[in-house]
A and B are shown apart, each in its own frame.
Chain A
């Protein structure tokens, strides 16, 4: 081997175990972040409550029972009381949470997916394509999101799938703009130049280099998108534009509860209200933690380790 003499130079790169990948390193930083970890625990607990809870404590959430309407918390068999139609409040909180979380997660992820690809393509290719694509987002952004949601929701009959689609259709704008900015910066990097000099094309640049290197931004933004989507679901159903009864979600539960504030039926409002706040706060803390995990501290960890 002609380069035998220089092999020494590689001595410090041992053939030992492969370096942990990005996800592993991010995880190790994330787990040291107390608020983020708390958020994750709260989220897991809420998920278990909503999806596993009904299995352990099945309740009837389809048939009304006006004889047992508006029972206060602590009533026998109804630790959180009942609603104005006699549904068990605890059980309803679980099934309603399913709708909120499912729609929120799906809409948030869908919006992130669309926005990421859209923004990365606009930012990477630039020029007139970028200009045209970004003017479209500006135009959509100029219409108040809630107004748009209300209009769409009144035209089509909401179901879970429809709800996901309409929320995603307004929520993709912000990841699109974020990713466009990232892509603009990343496309000038030498490794993208290097890839182009190898003869690689735009698709490879976007999916192999731009998006993976913006993954921190994408993931962090996704958590905020999910939190936002859950809030959107709550808005819409609060306005009565959500999935029709007897299905429920936290927003529609709040909406019915509002009617009884004057009578003091507080148990109709606080449980769904607190649940929404908890889940949104959990996602926000997770998002903050992830941002730290993918940003500066990851670099430090990478350099030392």
Chain B
């Protein structure tokens, strides 16, 4: 055991209730055990609320107010941190243990220059002089890949992009050359390409400085490629611990297995429902006996409810390298191939969704019945510098000449990094914004009503009718519901506004909507804050469906949800589509989710639609270098997949001053002079229906 850098044994942390009610004491950590060798990278995974961050904070002695360690030990490099006095902890923080937080914007002080912040730990811990500290800060900023570090020393955090800020935060954490770096969701707030750059950076710095790493994340894709070993947490305790390859190849704990199965990338296609984990994690306030996962586990026996399964290694030894799990009914060790083949049948014995006749999701509707046709849609936001700035014509080009069509009953996925204009596009389609140029036209039933007019220019009555047919599903359902209204009022509101039905009829409709989305009818008397994230998203979907729209614009509907809940919502959206024939314009930055759900996809970059086509074709054989870059950069939840040789470098240029010609040329490995001079027009070089806007499209993979 002497070779452990950090050893956490059966750690318990409790947060007492503010009013001193014993029964309401929250058991934030309930038996966490970790073991980390010097230089090793450990991934800490689990869904939100499972205690990942709390574990990281207790290592640093930074528990939130009221929380205290009530059991277990915490040893770092021979020092017992659990009982160490504050001065000792202060000597450790930022010195021998560095920490990177999730949000680089809030973890940097906006009133201090970059240099002062990076140099601060040196001044605090190493007693070096100011000049020396700044010199080392500059060096460190160069190391983390900040261009022109010398000049950047005197800039402020708001002058840097999100990715650059996270680099600064890492520089701050590393300046004292810690022996352990704790990174708590370091890339969750960043784009895919930036995420890859940051993780790559942490990787290389770890190798160079020989430090250990604890990477806290909910993202199994991030874990797969970046760490040596993984600890899976559930409801405040470590349920499984293993080497990353062993874990991904053959998870033993039923929770881990279910978590993997719920990943959209593990599903064949949208005709198969995703495996879900029924129910919700237990409340930390509940005093539980037995396996914490038992109520949601399809394999739970009586024993699971009464006895605590111990965290035990397969070979009986307590060796750090052992594959340990806390489960009475583990997945058989040799069943890994089996588990991969059919996770659905394995994990959820009673398949949640009767897959009635394996009709492809949209066989009956894949006609040329175009529901929505968007042509040359453009949206500029004038930059407001002062009262006269408008006249100078400076504007942010959010959406620039986008064309697409959505057919009845299909799912059109739109992917792209933040700032590419995908959300603006969604807001234009629902009529929340007025386009600067271009048109949005509806076909079929809608077309007869509205003809060639844009939703934004409709008169009041027509617009009201338009809103009956097109609905927006918000990313944050909670924010989209009036906190002062009960669910009954929230779900009835669209019906009341549109004057559909009498009060009794509306109440009946509300009850049916709740049934449709799998919520109890008793929910009508509750307030939005009483629901979990997944349940709120169900409510959002129910409200969106209240008037049976033919098109639902879903803006990142699952990006705030945990994997298991995400699977439930995606399944639900899929079922509703099959039953009611609703079309989705599905906007997401998550390629795996779009790949799973979408029939066709559009890839956006800096306001332009660079590639559109059938989802399967685009993902299998991208034609645009940007699409290829995105696909290569995205982390797969599989340690076997090698990182691509050349992930997308650089950052998205400002939309206020987009590059001439092809907007992607500044980051494109194939860019030539022509790309700067002329804007590429959409063409179909490979197959009809697969459009790409590139002068030098990639050669499609031969099948």
- Residues of A in contact with B (beta carbons under 8 Å apart): 1-16, 18-19, 22, 189-191, 193-200, 204, 208-209, 212-213, 215, 300, 302-304
Once the chains are docked, how many angstroms separate the CA of A237 from the CA of B554?
63
Q: Which residue in chain A gives the minimum CB-CB distance to B356? A: A2
Question: Which of B354, B472, B482, B525 is within 8 Å of A197, CB to CB?
Answer: B472
Contact B498 A198 (CB under 8 A): yes
Name B505-544 residues within 8 Å CB distance of A. 515-523, 525-527, 529-532, 534-535, 538, 543
Contact A11 B279 (CB under 8 A): yes
Once the chains are docked, how many angstroms separate the CA of A300 from the CA of B538?
24
Once the chains are docked, how many angstroms separate the CA of A1 from the CA of B525?
23
Q: Which residues of B contact A204 (CB under 8 A)?
A: 497
Instruction: Say whether, besides A190-B480, A198-B497, A3 and B535 are in contact (CB < 8 Å).
Output: no
Whether B71 sits at the interface, judged by CB under 8 Å, is: no
Instruction: Say whether, besides A199-B464, A213-B482, A6 and B497 are in contact (CB < 8 Å).
Output: no
Q: Which residues of B contact A208 (CB under 8 A)?
A: 482, 493
Q: Which residues of B contact A194 (CB under 8 A)?
A: 472, 474, 480-481, 543
Instruction: Provide the main secondary structure of the chain A interface.
Output: helix
Once the chains are docked, how many angstroms separate the CA of A70 from the CA of B693?
98
Once the chains are docked, how many angstroms separate the CA of A234 from the CA of B450?
63
Residue among B278, B463, B521, B565 with max Cβ neighbours from chain A (10 Å): B278
- Residues of B in contact with A (beta carbons under 8 Å apart): 18, 24, 276, 278-280, 348, 350-354, 430-432, 463-465, 467-468, 471-472, 474, 476, 479-486, 493-494, 497-498, 515-523, 525-527, 529-532, 534-535, 538, 543, 565, 568, 571-572, 575, 579
Q: Which residues of B contact A4 (CB under 8 A)?
A: 352, 518
Question: With contacts A6-B517, A19-B486 known, what are 10 further pairs, Cβ within 8 A?
Answer: A2-B575, A5-B278, A8-B278, A10-B519, A13-B522, A191-B482, A193-B472, A193-B480, A197-B432, A302-B527
Q: Which residues of B contact A302 (CB under 8 A)?
A: 527, 529
Instruction: Say whether, besides A6-B568, A194-B480, A13 and B279 are in contact (CB < 8 Å).
Output: no
Q: Which residues of A contact B572 (CB under 8 A)?
A: 3, 6
Q: Which residues of A contact B532 (CB under 8 A)?
A: 12
Question: Which of A190, A197, A303 is within 8 Å of B467, CB to CB?
Answer: A197
Once the chains are docked, how many angstroms separate the CA of A169 from the CA of B214?
64
Which 10 pairs show the lowest CB-CB distances between chains A and B?
Answer: A5-B352, A15-B522, A18-B525, A6-B518, A199-B464, A8-B278, A190-B480, A3-B518, A190-B479, A199-B467
Measured CB to CB, the closest approach of chain B to A250, in angstroms, equals: 38
Contact B484 A22 (CB under 8 A): yes
Measured CB to CB, the closest approach of chain B to A204, in angstroms, equals: 7
Q: Which residue in chain B gives the minimum CB-CB distance to A5? A: B352
Question: Which of A10, A195, A300 is within 8 Å of B535, CB to CB?
Answer: A10
Q: Which residues of A contact B515 (CB under 8 A)?
A: 1, 3
Question: Which of B351, B479, B525 is within 8 Å of A5, CB to CB?
Answer: B351
Once the chains are docked, how many angstroms separate the CA of A215 from the CA of B531?
23
Instruction: Say whether, besides A3-B515, A9-B568, A199-B498, A15 and B520 are in contact (CB < 8 Å).
Output: yes
Measured CB to CB, the closest approach of chain A to B23, in angstroms, equals: 12
Instruction: Say whether, besides A22-B484, A198-B493, A212-B482, A190 and B476 are in contact (CB < 8 Å).
Output: yes
Q: List 15 A-B contacts (CB under 8 A).
A: A4-B352, A5-B352, A6-B278, A6-B517, A10-B520, A13-B526, A14-B522, A15-B521, A191-B479, A191-B482, A193-B432, A194-B480, A194-B481, A198-B497, A209-B482
